[in-house]
Structure 1
Amino acid sequence: MTHFSFTSQAGQTDHASDIVIVPVYDKRAPGVATMIAPAQMGAAIQHAMTTDLHFQGKTGQTLTVPAPAGSNFKKMILVGMGATKGMDSLRAETIGGKIYTAVAATGMTSLTILANDFSGANAHMAADLAHGFVLKSYTFDKYKSQAPQAPDYTIRIALPNPTPAREKFAQLAPVAAGAFLARDLANEPPNVLTPKTMAERVRVAMEPLGLNPEIIHEAGLKALGAGAFVAVGQGSSPDKRPMMVVLRYNGTGNDTSRPLALVGKGLTFDTGGLSLKTNMSNMKFDMGGAAAVIGAMAALAGRKAPVDVVAVLGLARNDIGPDANCVDDIVTAMNGKTIDVQNTDAEGRLVLADCLTYVQRRFNPHTVIDLATLTGACKAALGSTMCGVFSNDETLSKRIRASGAKVSERGWPMPLGPEFSAAIRGTYSDLVNIGNGGPGASTAAAFLQEFIEGKTKWAHLDIAGVANGVFGHPTMPDKIGTGFGVRLLNQLIMDHFEKKPKAPKTEAAPAPKA
């Protein structure tokens, strides 16, 4: 656990902590904290900078040295703030992540951050720094027999006006909790996390937030005509059969409004089916889309966002068994379209197809956004740097990318078009589940587009390359579940979908009498 307190700067060096964090700007320009520090601390700071010429104050650089004798601290960590101008939330968050790394290396757990430079209009950014510290602190050691005990950090952030930072951090804390929930789910091994246990984990996480999941089991899916979805999980054992989880968050209090819909692919493990994968390593992360949607819903409910959102999770295992679907099977999706299964490893789009139809026909959303670890082709194109963004609405695509950039969960625009739609036309059926030539990420997205009805705005985020590691990310873990998409969705909703409070009406002043 990490405990933060945002306090005024008065007596900032009188408080005893293991570590004091001192900001320094690019080219070792002193920050406010450096200039107003007590004499012995100021001398120690100058000595550290002059003896370690590598430390230049660049963003996120750190230098750990002994605290001066007579101070209330054991260690002093100088942290680079970057340029003296242009501080923003993302840079502050990056610095917070770097502070965590430097602090963790000391083994100490109490610290004071001299955040005098976060003043005036920048005061709220001290919360972003704290948020970066929290996000970077994530670990997943529950299955190690000799797992180290997670430290309890006590952090005091001293700044001129702590109120804006304190208020903002209260809104950021549920977002970090949502990201951690998504990471925890993704990192569970497949012998623990099955469709059934994942649905139960959703219930346990959501009920305290006031959300009661609705679970539609295999029999219910068959009754709905979800033949594509059911086909994917029919090779699994009876206790691992497919199911759909539905979550509703009504943050505006208006039960009649059209919601935003989030849809997540939740393959808790993917063997490839009879089209067997040659390498199944990391296929437990094939539920990363569903994990991101769950985390985003937790974040929205946790911070009481004024927005109406419905989430649909398609949970299944793509296993091999006596009843597993075969190549050349033809299945019928919920919207009546027939699909020739040309590759059983192109299963995620079959699950999503019925989820997309279901959410539109039941809830009539104005916008649908799906997240899925859908294609290796997208990872080949973008690597572990950003997700692919496909959309039938250019404004929606731009908004997703702009909001994602604010939280360093970036997206890149990917192509849709008639040539990709033509590649998924079937000979014996309406559609085939794998394109006849053409780039696989785009033909997969074109397949999903076949299940978008009317004028519904839609975007598909292919997160195959970023579900378990994002190259060079300042606050995400590497090689394990990242929770990519939680903060992107939260920021997008905050920027564009929340109901803004109406400005109070002001009566015009009476005209002066002549």
Structure 2
Amino acid sequence: MLSVQPYAEMAEKPDTGILFVCEDMPLYKEENKALLCEKIRNLPEFAAKAEKIYFVSMPEEMPLPRVIMVGLGKKEELDAEKFRRAAAAAVKAAMEAKEKCPAVFLPDAKETLQSETTVKAILEGLVLANYRFDSYKKESELRVLEKIIILAEKTAQSGIEKLAAGVEAVCTATHLARTWVSTPSNDKRPEALCDMFEKAAASEGLETRRMGKKELEKLGFGAMLAVAQGSDAGPCLLTLHYHPEKTADKTVALVGKGVTFDSGGLDLKPPAGMEGMKMDMAGAAAVVATSIALARTRPSFRFIAAIPIVENMPSATAYRPGDVFRAYNGKSIEVMNTDAEGRLILADTLAWLADVEKPDLMLDVATLTGACMVALGDEIAGGFTEDSMLAHALARAGEETFERCWPMPLPKDYKKLLKSELADLRNVSTTRNGGAITAALFLKEFTGETRWAHIDIAGPAYLSKASACCPAGGSGFGVRLLHHLLTDLEKNGNL
């Protein structure tokens, strides 16, 4: 998708150019580009406002038939996300204009934040926006760009090529997650979704293993099997394994909630709350896509991803409020709400990984609670961990990727809200308040002594309307966040 080429030696002819324009600062040194930006900046209908687009037709003797000018806003407000969103706006404009191969002129003035961070943000915006999910439509409304040429100085070409390869590895994995989340539930029942995940992971060289009902019964996954028993589609636990070329000192475990459709079970959701529940496997999609991105970028640590996949349905065989089940680690759970099923399938998986793999770090990602959406809105995930360094690293990764993750508390005294008179735990709190916190505290009961963080992506996992970098539907949230977090922890020796 991305092709880095020196301007003087372009191997192919693009059909349009893309230039960035700041309200109050020149971004290009070359005279023709600088003059064009200065002229267009002063047009009142453009004025270089953030994400504003203006098309300029070029004279016949020029190498490009037209140029897309994209605004960045004021100098004092420039940051990586402004560049990311502007690049995405330019790609959407090119798609709407039915272009196939635009050429992007990177800003070259030093004072424009010309750094790896800025260039990476631009590249991310270009790739993230170049996506559509239209496989269920007879005719596509928009076609994605076939190629995006990045014009670079000859001396900077190799560095930008390396950066572009990394961005494309992660952002196209994000595309995969979006597609899986947006796929209707009738086409991704547990076995089918497991097939999708396994095929994609195996194609990237990851070792895969899947376990069905009989194997899960032998392992003692009582909580996960309880959720699955209401559906005629059996449960599936998929594991993905990555081993670096050299012997790894550290092991990371990733867990993603994979509920292919959540009706609520016998505690049935209202229709308005059920219609979007094809997205309740977004945590699983994020973890599989992150695993693929990591397999492409080859970290030095070993990792295992475990994805429990079920369908939560009401039926004569469904689990009931008041039922008690025993999880993998031997703890008994009294079910007080069948719509709190995600934590049950995660409980077995977390306990099993902590016991068998003994990872140095364990992360789980889940569309777990509506309470987290109430607390943080639709665009910010909640991060729960008792490790202050990990909490800080997670928040920083969220800021740098703009997949924001706000640190949330895990007060020990709230554990009393999960006390059951009949079992070791109840699966929901005795109060409606603080639901995201008590859900995280429930999960913690199954992590043992493992260093662990829980990421609740209920808000940002699915977009009801398009964002700057993503059309409506599955957002792929969590892939760039997790990849950035783990890469950062590895680089700083904090795994």
Q: Following TM superposition, by how much is the alpha carbon of 1:144 offset from its aligned partner in structure 2, in angstroms? A: 0.9
Q: How does 1:95-494 map to 2 (within 5 A)?
A: 95-117=86-108, 122=114, 124=116, 125-148=118-141, 150-160=143-153, 161-237=156-232, 240-251=233-244, 253-254=246-247, 257-279=249-271, 280-437=274-431, 438-454=433-449, 456-469=450-463, 473-478=467-472, 480-494=473-487
Structure-2 separation of matches of 1:252 and 1:132: 32
Question: Which structure would you say has the larger Rg?
Answer: 1
Once the two structures are superposed, what CA deviation does each residue of 1:359-404 show, in whole Å capped at 9, x if it has no partner? 1111001111111101111111111110011112111111111011
Structure-2 separation of matches of 1:464 and 1:173: 26
Look up the SS of the partner of 1:203 in the other structure: helix
Q: Is the 8 A contact 2:99 2:145 kept in 1?
A: no
Q: Which residue of 2 aligns with 1:505?
A: none
Q: Which residue of 2 aligns with 1:72?
A: 63
Q: Which residue of 2 aligns with 1:509?
A: none
Structure 1: runs of 5+ lacking an equivalent: 501-514
Look up the SS of the partner of 2:54 in the other structure: strand
Q: Which has the higher mean CA deviation after the structures are superposed, 128-137 or 340-349?
A: 128-137
Structure-2 separation of matches of 1:203 and 1:24: 44
Q: Following TM superposition, by how much is the alpha carbon of 1:258 offset from its aligned partner in structure 2, in angstroms? A: 4.1
Check if 1:23 corresponds to 2:20: yes
Once the two structures are superposed, what CA deviation does each residue of 1:385-431 show, in whole Å capped at 9, x if it has no partner? 10011112111111111011111100112221123210001011111
Label 1:88 to 1:162 Cα distance change in 2 as closer, same or farther (>3 A): farther
Q: Following TM superposition, by how much is the alpha carbon of 1:84 offset from its aligned partner in structure 2, in angstroms? A: 5.1
Structure-1 separation of matches of 2:63 and 2:217: 67
Label 1:322 to 1:166 Cα distance change in 2 as closer, same or farther (>3 A): same
Q: Following TM superposition, by how much is the alpha carbon of 1:490 offset from its aligned partner in structure 2, in angstroms? A: 0.2
Once the two structures are superposed, what CA deviation does each residue of 1:220-254 show, in whole Å capped at 9, x if it has no partner? 111111111100000111xx111111111122532
Structure-2 separation of matches of 1:490 and 1:152: 25
Q: Is the 8 A contact 1:123 1:165 kept in 2?
A: no
Structure 2: runs of 5+ lacking an equivalent: none
Structure-2 separation of matches of 1:148 and 1:102: 13
Q: Is the 8 A contact 1:258 1:364 kept in 2?
A: no
Structure-2 separation of matches of 1:43 and 1:443: 59
TM-score, scaled to structure 1: 0.88
Q: Following TM superposition, by how much is the alpha carbon of 1:82 offset from its aligned partner in structure 2, in angstroms? A: 4.5
Q: Which has the higher mean CA deviation after the structures are superposed, 174-183 or 83-92?
A: 83-92
Label 1:56 to 1:86 Cα distance change in 2 as closer, same or farther (>3 A): same
Q: Is the 8 A contact 1:248 1:311 kept in 2?
A: yes
Q: Following TM superposition, by how much is the alpha carbon of 1:9 offset from its aligned partner in structure 2, in angstroms? A: 3.5
Q: Which amino acid aligns with 1:166?
A: E
Label 1:114 to 1:48 Cα distance change in 2 as closer, same or farther (>3 A): same
Structure-2 separation of matches of 1:64 and 1:113: 14
Q: Following TM superposition, by how much is the alpha carbon of 1:315 offset from its aligned partner in structure 2, in angstroms? A: 0.4
* Selected match of 2:85 from 94, 100, 103: 94
Label 1:445 to 1:151 Cα distance change in 2 as closer, same or farther (>3 A): closer
Look up the SS of the partner of 1:103 in the other structure: helix
Q: Following TM superposition, by how much is the alpha carbon of 1:206 offset from its aligned partner in structure 2, in angstroms? A: 1.2
Label 1:335 to 1:310 Cα distance change in 2 as closer, same or farther (>3 A): same
Q: Following TM superposition, by how much is the alpha carbon of 1:104 offset from its aligned partner in structure 2, in angstroms? A: 1.9
Q: Is the 8 A contact 2:40 2:47 kept in 1?
A: no
Check if 1:8 corresponds to 2:6: yes
Q: Following TM superposition, by how much is the alpha carbon of 1:86 offset from its aligned partner in structure 2, in angstroms? A: 8.9
Q: Following TM superposition, by how much is the alpha carbon of 1:128 offset from its aligned partner in structure 2, in angstroms? A: 3.6
Structure-2 separation of matches of 1:263 and 1:398: 20
Look up the SS of the partner of 2:280 in the other structure: helix
Structure-2 separation of matches of 1:472 and 1:392: 35
Q: Is the 8 A contact 2:130 2:145 kept in 1?
A: no
Label 1:243 to 1:11 Cα distance change in 2 as closer, same or farther (>3 A): closer
Q: Is the 8 A contact 2:250 2:301 kept in 1?
A: no
How many equivalent residue pairs?
Answer: 486
TM-score, scaled to structure 2: 0.92
Look up the SS of the partner of 1:322 in the other structure: coil
Q: Which has the higher mean CA deviation after the structures are superposed, 120-129 or 333-342?
A: 120-129
Structure-2 separation of matches of 1:289 and 1:276: 22
Q: Following TM superposition, by how much is the alpha carbon of 1:341 offset from its aligned partner in structure 2, in angstroms? A: 0.5
Identity of aligned residues (%): 32
Structure-2 separation of matches of 1:350 and 1:168: 40
**Deviating runs (4+, > 6 A) in structure 1?**
118-121
Label 1:314 to 1:15 Cα distance change in 2 as closer, same or farther (>3 A): closer
Q: Is the 8 A contact 1:306 1:499 kept in 2?
A: no
Structure-2 separation of matches of 1:396 and 1:181: 27
Structure-2 separation of matches of 1:15 and 1:183: 31
Structure-2 separation of matches of 1:149 and 1:436: 49
